[in-house]
Amino acid sequence: MEIKPAQRIAAVKPYFFAELERTIAQLKKTGLNIIRLDMGSPDLPPAEHIVETLVESVRRPDVHGYGPSGGTPGLKSAFAQYYQKRFGVELDPEREVIALIGSKEGIYNINQALINPGDLVLLPDPCYPVYRAGAQISQAEVYTMPLLAENGFLPDLDRIPEDIAQKAKLMWLNYPNNPTGAVAPLSFFSEVIDFAVKYNVVIAHDAPYVDVCFDDYEAPSILQVPGAKEVSIEFNSLSKTYNMAGWRVGVAVGNAEIVRLLRLIKSQMDSSHFVPIMQAAESALLEDQSWIRNRNSVYQRRRDIVVKTMEELGFKIENPKASLYVWAGLPQGCGDDIEFCDVLLRETGVSITPGIVYGKSGAGYVRISLVIPAESLVEAMLRMKEWMSEQD
């Protein structure tokens, strides 16, 4: 029997990293030693008190049934307390907070909640691929907003044509940014909220890196802008802040009607988290936060290793103040980014991500992740340096 996919998914390309996993698996069989600088999965563990809370909770006999969809009252309250303490933002835990099985779930499902076929979605370019895939599967039209170095990798709102702005229903933003590592000032978010009010556009801000910052920088939340909750929803996650990527604890906060719609979708498709995970997430959000600064200093040292080497090799780099990535423009004469990354992987075992994966404006760039130990990063940079010297 021939299985025909639904039209809404037929044009969606396979997720790049799923394909890369298969390539790497084949190369490992040949004996090649692989150093992975492509994925953004933290290598460091959560703080001990988070793990201990999980262990203590899982031993209880009364926590093994279904948890409440959208999070326990305790977890939603913990997210609200985090937002109040971290950003000075007041949230109603019942109406303006919903826990997600990883923020990726909500990023995809907001399209199901808001977008009809033919609606227009504004996407940054480059961007996290799920923004585009979610829009495509919802059969939306897409207009891309280039993120260019000369504008600090911020979209230029003034360059969005009037007819596009009038038609747009949803705009995606992500700061600190993946893949560029760029940050956005609160003044930019104020401009975005003004744009949203003027054109009746929902703003979806993806903010999983707000607590992965360097050089004493502190990233803002878009919800700090007065009136932001009227037009925006912010996605956040424990994956990067608390080294809990595999635990799949995310959140959507902000506009109460969007939260209600996400809750409606979730009630039809999942049965929430394991309760001990939610209790451990409460511990992460409410207990000692001082360890995060020390963890960020580890990432900062790794960033400095990569930036120093890449600059010596002629890459064009804006030293990132936040996120887990270094975004680097290829030196002249290095060809396109897909070919560069493919040959680098096959000849040295160093795996980095071609910028074109994230959109047309990413062409000519590569993304390097900071989620392996410093000694492995040094080895990867040495391999790149030796390999590039052989190419001259």
CATH no., domain 48-286? 3.40.640.10
Q: What is the pLDDT of residues 286-304, one digit of tens each?
A: 999 999 999 999 999 999 9
Mean pLDDT calculated for residue range 116-128: 96
Domain segments of the chain as ranges = 7-45+291-391, 48-286
* Distance (Å) of CA 36 to CA 43, 126, 129, 365: 11, 21, 19, 17
Which residues in 156-309 belong to E strands, given as ranges? 168-173, 202-206, 232-237, 250-254
Q: What is the pLDDT of residues 1-33, one digit of tens each?
A: 888 777 777 667 766 777 888 989 999 999 999
Q: How confident is the model at residue 392 (pLDDT cuts 50, 70, 90)?
A: low
Find all residues with CB under 8 Å of 257, minimum gap 6, and list them.
none
- Would you state the pLDDT for residue 20? 86
Mean pLDDT calculated for residue range 40-53: 94
- CATH value of 7-45+291-391 in 3.30.365.10, 3.40.50.1170, 3.90.1150.10, 1.10.287.1080: 3.90.1150.10
Radius of gyration of the chain (CA): 21
For residues 135 and 121, is the Cβ–Cβ distance under 8 A?
yes
Q: What percent of the chain has pLDDT over 90?
A: 88
Find the Cα–Cα–Cα–Cα dihedral 96, 99, 102, 104, rounded to 10°.
-30
Q: What is the pLDDT of residues 347-372, one digit of tens each?
A: 999 999 999 999 999 999 999 999 99
What secondary structure does DSSP assign to 342-385, as a single string? HHHHHHH-EE-EEGGGG-GGGTTEEEEE--S-HHHHHHHHHHHH
